[in-house]
């Protein structure tokens, strides 16, 4: 900034700075210019600095730098702005403070918990599957659980997945979406083998079931790895599902009824974990304290 020198100024002179004639509410940079104005009353030449205000994004104004002189005990202002200024805006700095930006109101995310539909429909389907695997129904009645799995569990998982996606809960939507595929494909496998929809012979039925179980064991195994950053209860749930699939796979390809039954009991075990998760979600939804879910395996 160019400094102004006044030859008639006393030792006790001072400088004042008026606010811009056009209010600036952003950071400004001032470059000085000056001009001499004769003072007929006191014989002084008064120098007025006219500082153009360069702003970012704000219309420029003029900042008047006024020299104050002291002579024979009297003091007067060398110049006044062209129009009345609000002297409460007098500044001693060259830089204006930035005004606080007005923030737009934050839109709250829609409330909802897709687990309140997804988990109980998962529980009812898993319970039916566990009863079939443990021999509650005759071996030839493998389709007994389809009346629950197809319209209740599969549809419930689909609704929960769509709901979670609408809320932007991507991980939850992925979990329910994967299990939507599992339950619908299980129903399609059982019904297709019973009615011969896919042209699969009786000799290839065991290999077809093995193919189904291997594919889903790989997929849910990957999902289990993804849950390592979630609370431990979710990791336990998916780990038990992996164990159940592995046991049923072994029992199917080796014709081991014991392994298949063991897989059914593991199904009951992860169903119990699902009951715990559902209870915690319901407690939270009704104003209570949610149940502890454990620390994540990976932080």
The answer to the question of residue 3 being in a domain is: no
| pLDDT value for 93 | 44
| pLDDT value for 101 | 45
Domains identified in the chain, total number: 2
| pLDDT value for 4 | 41
pTM of this structure:
0.64
Q: Both 120 and 165 in a single domain?
A: yes
Q: Both 281 and 192 in a single domain?
A: yes
Containing structural domain, residue 25? 14-89
Judge contact between 36 and 78, C-beta under 8 A.
no
Compute mean pLDDT per 10 residues along the chain, 299 residues long, and list them.
43 42 40 49 50 42 41 41 48 44 56 93 98 92 93 97 96 97 97 92 92 98 95 97 98 95 98 98 94 93
Q: Of 48, 72, 89, which one is at a domain's C-terminal end?
A: 89
Q: Both 84 and 126 in a single domain?
A: no
| pLDDT value for 201 | 87
Judge contact between 243 and 251, C-beta under 8 A.
no
Q: Both 193 and 127 in a single domain?
A: yes
Q: Both 171 and 51 in a single domain?
A: no
Q: Both 270 and 140 in a single domain?
A: yes
Q: Both 171 and 269 in a single domain?
A: yes
Tokens, residue 165: 């996606």
| pLDDT value for 74 | 42
| pLDDT value for 192 | 95
């Amino acid at each position: 900034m160019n400094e102004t020198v006044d030859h008639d100024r006393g030792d006790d002179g001072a400088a004042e700075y008026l606010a811009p004639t056009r209010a600036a509410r952003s950071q400004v940079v001032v470059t000085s210019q000056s001009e001499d104005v004769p003072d007929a009353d006191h014989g002084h030449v008064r120098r007025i600095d006219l500082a153009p205000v360069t702003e970012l994004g704000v219309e420029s104004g003029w900042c008047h730098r006024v020299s104050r002189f002291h002579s024979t005990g009297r003091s007067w202002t060398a110049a006044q702005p062209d129009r009345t200024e609000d002297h409460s805006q007098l500044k001693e700095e060259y830089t204006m403070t930035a005004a606080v930006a007005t923030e737009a109101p934050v839109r709250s995310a829609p409330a909802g918990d897709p687990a309140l539909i997804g988990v109980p429909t998962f529980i009812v389907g898993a319970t039916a599957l566990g009863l079939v695997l443990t021999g509650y129904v005759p071996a030839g009645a493998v389709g007994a659980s389809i009346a629950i799995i197809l319209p209740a569990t599969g549809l419930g998982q689909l609704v929960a997945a769509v709901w979670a996606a609408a809320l932007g809960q991507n991980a939850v939507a992925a979990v329910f979406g994967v299990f939507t595929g599992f339950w619908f494909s299980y129903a399609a496998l059982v019904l297709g083998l019973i009615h011969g929809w896919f042209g699969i012979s009786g000799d290839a039925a065991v290999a077809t079931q093995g193919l189904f179980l291997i594919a889903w064991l790989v997929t849910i195994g990957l999902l289990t790895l993804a849950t390592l950053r979630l609370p431990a209860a979710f990791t336990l749930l998916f780990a038990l599902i992996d164990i159940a699939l592995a046991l049923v796979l072994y029992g199917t390809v080796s014709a081991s009824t014991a392994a298949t039954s063991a897989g059914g009991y593991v199904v009951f075990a992860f169903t119990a974990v699902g009951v715990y998760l559902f209870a915690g979600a319901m407690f939270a939804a009704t104003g209570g304290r949610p149940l502890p879910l454990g620390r994540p395996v990976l932080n």
